[in-house]
Structures are given as structure tokens and as C-alpha cells.
Amino acid sequence: MSAAPARRRKLAVVIGSGGVKCAAALGLRQVLDREGIPIDMFVGCSGGSIYAATAALGFSPDEAREAITRLWTREVTSQRRRRALLELLLPRTFGFGEGFGMRDDRLVLQRLRDGFGQRTFADARTTLYVAATDFRTGEQVVLSEGRIVDAVRASIAIPFVLAPWRVGGRLLVDGFLSDPLPVNIAIREGADVILAMGFESPMQSRLTSPVRFIFQVSTIMTNNLLRSRFAFTSHAHHSEVIGVMPEFRDRIGLFATERMPRIIEDGARATEAHLPYIRRLMSDGAG
Amino acid sequence: METAVEARGRATVVRITGSVDGTTADQLTAVFTHELAAGHTHLVAALDGVDYTSSAGLRVLLGAVKEARSAGGDVRLAAPRKDVLKVLELAGFTGILKVYGDLESAVAGFGA
């Protein structure tokens, strides 16, 4: 009796939170495209959700870079919401609430609509999952249906900066709060080989303002959350979780889109380091 | 991947060369299982020759650590390269295992 043919391993790419650093995922895609290695699933979180969504919708890396350069600019979060300061200073008088955000989100919404239009998850050529966080319970929420714009808007709802976003009756905030690199979603959805591209946040060089102080606290907590979740999922998975963590030569701001070419190179280089093993895994089959 | 085993004082050193990954995991499991079955529970994995590690490979080490500790021993890691150390850190190994910069220190860590 002849043996059953080996099943091809299912490959997922998970792109974690990291602002413009997530452009490294374009470098990862370039390497996999060049090698003819098919991707079966994208998972995105926060800034990574934008890259995961463009990839899943079939944007080429060049098209995605162009679209994201238009979308992700400093301008989108520099739109002050005048009333926000009053809400902070006199919360009872001005009605501070769960929908608080320091910035006006109309421009970011417009840019997301320009980029994704009315496309839904059903329009994705490759399976797509977007991670957000339930603001009331803290639970991770996995979005896999409805409009891409809503999913991405929820996933990038940076606390204090952008207001939470309501999807399907739940008030959602940035996915990084529940897991900055949600490998668990790819595991649960049946991936074998998981390429997890994550980004640790840099520490503040000087703690000279309350904002920097808060950023430092947030960075410590987020980096530790990333590591602990990554460690757990790495040990729990039946197959491979390959952490593709680009090393950047210097500090990269949240909106430094002018640095994208270098970031993409760094992402490609980080992927190349794992390529011999990825090739072996994908040619072996899962048996 | 290649392995070589040698006794060093109280410790048994498993020298590993090459890639510790899903395609070599069974081979490495067999080496640790053999040593533990022989009562060699004070193990040092010498990693200076390891040029690649993956989650499936590291799970082998984790399994060996659990067995060794259950038997009153331990598995300690020696001389990982920079890239390998980074993977060990991300996977949480440096928080639960003793990692030494060189083989001599790892062996000495088990006492005379």
C-alpha cells in the first residue's frame, strides 16, 4: 500500500504592533514571494493590522508601501480635539467617558477609507485575522468579518490618543494591550509554521517629562507582555513558531515613514536569517 | 546536527553542533533520553556550535530539563552564540534555566 502524500504545512504570518516598524513585514513578504513560499493566513495587530490587511487583500509589497505611506503620517494623529483637555481637567463638567481620545480621528478614518474602501474580510484573497482588545474586559478580540476599515481602526486605537472603536456591540481598543504579537490566533486557526514578526519598543533615553515617564512604564509592560506571550505560544504549539524580530540600527519614531526603505531591508534581512530552515520545513510537508 | 557526550566531573556534557530545530528534534530527544535513562541527570548542553534554534528544537531542551529536575538534577546551558541567546531569551529560557557564558563555568556550577 502506498503511503498517503504528505500534507503541505500551513504557513501563517503574524505581524505585531510596532507603528512604522511594521513595514519590515513588507521585507518579509518580498523574501517569501521571491522564494515562491505561499502564505495561507495573515494575522495583524495594531500597526501590523494595516500590513496584514493590505497583504491579505492582494496588494503587492510596492502597492502596500505606497498606500501605507499615504495613510500613516504624523498628520493623522496631530489633529487635536480641543475638548479633550477640558475633559481631562474637569471630567464631570465636560463628560469624560470611555470614548476618550486626545486626537480627532476623522482624518485617520478618512485615510483608512481611502486605502481600504468598503472592502470586507470576505474580499481578502488570503485568510485574515485582526486582533483588538475589549476595553471593558481586557480580552483579546479576533476580528474576521465585516469591514476592514472598522477592524483596523479598532486595532490601532492607541489608548489616550485615539478613541476606542465600536465593532459588533463591543468597545475595542488597540490589540497590543492584550497581546502585542498574537501568535495564539494563528495556532487556534490551524497554522503549522508561524512566522511571527514582532517589535519590542525602545526604552526612553531620558525621563524628563510625565509623558516620557508614562511611555517608559507602558514600554516595560508591553515588552514583558510580548515576551511572556511569545514564550508560552512557542512552547504550546505543535509545530514551529519562528520569531522574526528585526534589529534596527537606530531608534525609529512611530511615524517615520521616510525610513521605510531601510526598515523593509531590515525586515528582509531578518527573514533571510531563517530562510534555509523555512525552506526545509515547507518542502518536507507535515506528514 | 551532531552531538557528542562526555563526562566532566559531576556533569555530563552534551556538545551540540548545527541546527536545533524541528527536523533535528527527535535526534536530540534520543540523546537526552539515553543520558537521563543512564542516570546522568546533571547535564550541560554546550551550545557554542549551535548556529540556529527554533521553537520545536527548544521544546526538546525543555522536556529534558523537566525530566532532569524531576530526578533531582538539572540541564544547564553553556556558551550560546548571540543569535541563539536572543532566541533563548524570547522563548523565556533565560528566566527558568541557568545559562553560562562558557562551558567551564557551567560544569563548575554543578560542583566538584
The residue assigned the cell 496631530 is A78
Average pLDDT along chain B: 95
What residues of A are in contact with residue B89 (Cβ under 8 Å)?
Answer: 227
Min distance B51 CA to chain A CA atoms (Å): 11
Query: CB–CB of A227 and B92 under 8 A?
Result: yes
Q: Which of A125, A31, A111, A107 is nearest to A69 (CA)?
A: A111
Would you say the C-alpha torsion B22, B69, A223, A170 has a positive or negative sign? positive
The pLDDT score that the predictor gives to residue A94 is: 92
Interface residues of chain B, partner chain A, Cβ below 8 Å: 19, 21-23, 52, 54-56, 58-59, 62, 83, 86-87, 89-92
Q: What's the pLDDT tens digit per position in B75-91?
A: 999 999 999 999 999 99
3-class secondary structure per residue, chain A: CCCCCCCCCCEEEEECCCHHHHHHHHHHHHHHHHHCCCCCEEEEECHHHHHHHHHHCCCCHHHHHHHHHHHCCHHHHCCECHHHHHHHHCHHHHCCCCCCCCECCHHHHHHHHHHHCCCEHHHCCCEEEEEEEECCCCCEEEECCCEHHHHHHHHCCCCCCCCCEEECCEEEEEHHHCCCCCHHHHHHCCCCEEEEECCCCCCCCCCCCHHHHHHHHHHHHHHHHHHHHHHHHHHHCCCEEEEECCCCCCCCCCCCHHHHHHHHHHHHHHHHCCHHHHHHHHHHCCC
Measure CB to CB from residue A237 to each of B19, B21, B55 and give the nearest one: B55
The pLDDT score that the predictor gives to residue A39 is: 97
- The low-confidence residues of chain A, meaning pLDDT below 50, are 287
DSSP conformation class of B24: T
Q: State pTM to two decimals.
A: 0.93
What residues of B are in contact with residue A276 (Cβ under 8 Å)?
Answer: 52
Q: What's the pLDDT tens digit per position in A37-56?
A: 999 999 999 999 999 999 99
Query: CB–CB of A242 and B54 under 8 A?
Result: yes
The pLDDT score that the predictor gives to residue B76 is: 97
Nearest-10 crossing angle of helices A24-35, A260-272: 50
Q: Are A96 and A87 in contact (CB under 8 A)?
A: yes
The pLDDT score that the predictor gives to residue A4 is: 61
The pLDDT score that the predictor gives to residue A286 is: 53
Query: CB–CB of A280 and B92 under 8 A?
Result: no
How would you class A243 by CB atoms within 10 Å of its CB: exposed for 0-12, middle for 13-18, buried for 19 or more?
Answer: buried
Query: CB–CB of A230 and B87 under 8 A?
Result: no
The pLDDT score that the predictor gives to residue A257 is: 82
Measure CB to CB from residue A234 to each of B22, B23, B55 and give the nearest one: B55
- Tell me if the domain spanning B2-103 has CATH number 3.40.640.10: no
Percent of chain B with pLDDT over 90: 98
Q: Which of A2, A28, A4, A1 is nearest to A14 (CA)?
A: A28
Query: CB–CB of B56 and A239 under 8 A?
Result: yes
Query: CB–CB of A242 and B55 under 8 A?
Result: yes
Q: Are A187 and A194 in contact (CB under 8 A)?
A: yes
ipTM of the complex model: 0.90
Nearest-10 crossing angle of helices B55-70, A210-236: 80
Measure CB to CB from residue B22 to each of A228, A235, A281 and give the nearest one: A281
Q: Is B31 helix (H, G, I), strand (E, B) or coil?
A: helix
Query: CB–CB of B22 and A231 under 8 A?
Result: no
Query: CB–CB of A231 and B92 under 8 A?
Result: yes
What residues of A are in contact with residue B85 (Cβ under 8 Å)?
Answer: none
The pLDDT score that the predictor gives to residue A8 is: 86
Query: CB–CB of A277 and B86 under 8 A?
Result: no
What residues of A are in contact with residue B54 (Cβ under 8 Å)?
Answer: 240, 242, 277
The pLDDT score that the predictor gives to residue A287 is: 39
Nearest-10 crossing angle of helices A47-56, A106-116: 20
The pLDDT score that the predictor gives to residue B112 is: 67
Interface residues of chain A, partner chain B, Cβ below 8 Å: 227-228, 230-232, 234-235, 237, 239-243, 245, 273, 276-277, 280-281, 284
Question: At A27, phi and psi to the nearest 5?
Answer: -65, -40
The pLDDT score that the predictor gives to residue A170 is: 97
Q: Which of A203, A198, A227 is nearest to A215 (CA)?
A: A203
Bridge partners, A15 (sequence order): A44, A197
d(CA A124, CA A120): 7
